[in-house]
Structure 1
């Protein structure tokens, strides 16, 4: 008789079951049949096989599924092992996160892979009797316009309901992400089972919802990483992380936020936001804000540090690089707490666009000196509004150390990373426009007659210093550097370090070869709000000259070992060169006395001639001719004898020159 009841149950007829749900023939959709199977009710649920009691228990699916199994019922489709990319465009990973293989759910095939199809992957039985802080760690990939949901669930003793312990919905970007899940509430239990429960997408693009899993690990968390920590794990300093191979001991939060930090090299996918490369090494981490409803508006990402034992540090200090560029940049906060309890306390906060360059944060942690269990976290909120996607925030080069100077007075003056800047032609001086940026991004090289600038909003004060290393293998007329607040020349703002022309501030004109370091207190020469930094490699008369500017730093006062004597700010008297660089200064009329019917000839540099407008008038202002110079000759054969004024002007200046026709 039990077989009969079992047959009823498997046809969908049992307690509170619809007859039609699993193939019944009754055409009345409202009929519900309520029976109970005296032999145990509905079919026995899937059981877990094996007892895993040795840890860490890991699986990367290199040779098979290991002890993990696709569910035999309760779902629609299975997980599949794969290497390389998935068959569908614009969804799924390009390869494994660990080794060569991973498992994923293929969402293609309307009615087969989508819409809303479920796939379940069950773990073996796990004996956590000997573990005090068990945790689950794995890599997941959720990329596609119709990504639905990934849930991790757990149950005990092969019975009862499955409880969700991790859930992500929507596209998480085209990269592998790490999940770190606290299983401490199951510590000491002898029969624990986990399962990955995936739902594919809906709608016409439901096929764009491949979800992948790799590098599963169940272990005892001695240091704590799921947003909490106990017993300081890091005791050796400096403790540095630049994310060159992975996240190291830093972990994305598994709860309390919406999206994750992602490792990246090069630029971010979105225009006009994010860096173009790392500031230390080749890799950094960032929060990708693209995808309305996925990356913005107001999505939170949290990155947790390991436990930090600061017992032996008298002046602990956090130093890191950050990049906050975009029209909708929201907030970056660094928070701290002790002993894995209580509220998080903000120790650093930045909001809004900070410009398209890497900046340095130096955070004093002396209030946590002597504490044995300190945890930090980076808490990022993405932008809002229609441009909320323009709010990628990046972090790199994290260092926790004892600050021997005390109070976080460390190196707060990073070198400019030229890959993060647009290199622009300056004024009318950029005749050849040749330049290159080193692979590291720390050097800018100019070749031939070239003036360049980078946009840099900076308020020069009495204490502002510019520091750089300079080298040249071929001398030109002017090699130098200086700030500007518009696109016209101001010789009193440029510091010349090399060249044959006597131009600009010449106090530092002492380069003789090799690589020379300059530390110039520009605050003793001028101050004010500037918007660009100018690099000069001038040579109007010839070509082949070059200038390389490396490790360019702008800071206030002093920076690390780059000290500047205080008297340098007050006692120096600038020595200005006596040779003008404007094109008009080199142009002369020859001859100044012209025979009627002849042409007016100009001699001097040809630089920028095609940008010069001219006007010829008599001494009472009557205008006889206007135009744009097309060379060094102006036809004046129609002018009557008399005295005339030739006016020359461009976007930057003007000059008047008198001539006579006899």
Structure 2
């Protein structure tokens, strides 16, 4: 489905309604949208009860999002019978195309629903807030950064020069100068999964820190940190943090000694619950029992990193993983040697026993054969002697008869 903007007026609306759906435990609404054109205006999504009274949209997107299909998703807490309404709004001319496809509505919250999912394509940067007490700001950018030999050449989302990301511009900044940006407040019932892509390229890259901060905005120890040049690539960062209440996520970039200190961020996603899937970078964080004395009703439990970050790549494994593999190989070798030795000794014993048995049987058979031969020879001699005597007797009788 799409809205055709030709021969329409500015701000004309096109609305599409679903049938009524029952909701006993909220609704998950998922769809794909396409918003391509220099004068694209707005796509809104509404959840409307059986009275058909249209209120505030539960989801909205504005402006050109390029020539790609993008997944949309929203969980809403509703009970009863509801319709979903999609509204496309035309802007000033015909290049205001908006398309919809693959709409899915299910009972219950979306399993992969994120509190925040930001690719920085919208100029509002998802309502992230620049810190006012740091030294300089993060900058929204597309294509390459102004300085050479540092920073990305394209975004992570679309991997093109048209996609956007955030970065710190280190030119004309002081060494160790900081730039901080905050997410809005998000609720957390147990664990929060924070995922993002980072780019740290340049000879003097310093540090990227990630903090989880409660509503008092008191900044403690980072839950994740990375330092130094990581190469001209986008890398996935992922961490599960034990928190309770509402919290901000804050990203802090620290400038190195000169302009080749580029650090960039893209595709930030914050989800309730532990991170799932392949862990490219992960840190295990456990809560202490200490609570904030400032705001007990919205407390983020203080966190302590109890395991170091493990980086897994196709070309290099961490020292810890290598040591574990070597240890496992050593144990396997010891086990195989031990049991192989036992098997060898057992085999030798069996061989000796079999050899002795064969020797005894052979000796017995030899003795029987020799005895048999001796007995046969004695019998033959006696038979010959008897035959000779009988012949002599016959010859004597014949002579006597002749006389």
| TM-score normalized with structure 1 length | 0.29
Q: Which has the higher contact order (CA 8 A, sep 6+)?
A: 2
More helix by share: 2
| TM-score normalized with structure 2 length | 0.44
Specify the structure having the higher radius of gyration (Cα). 2
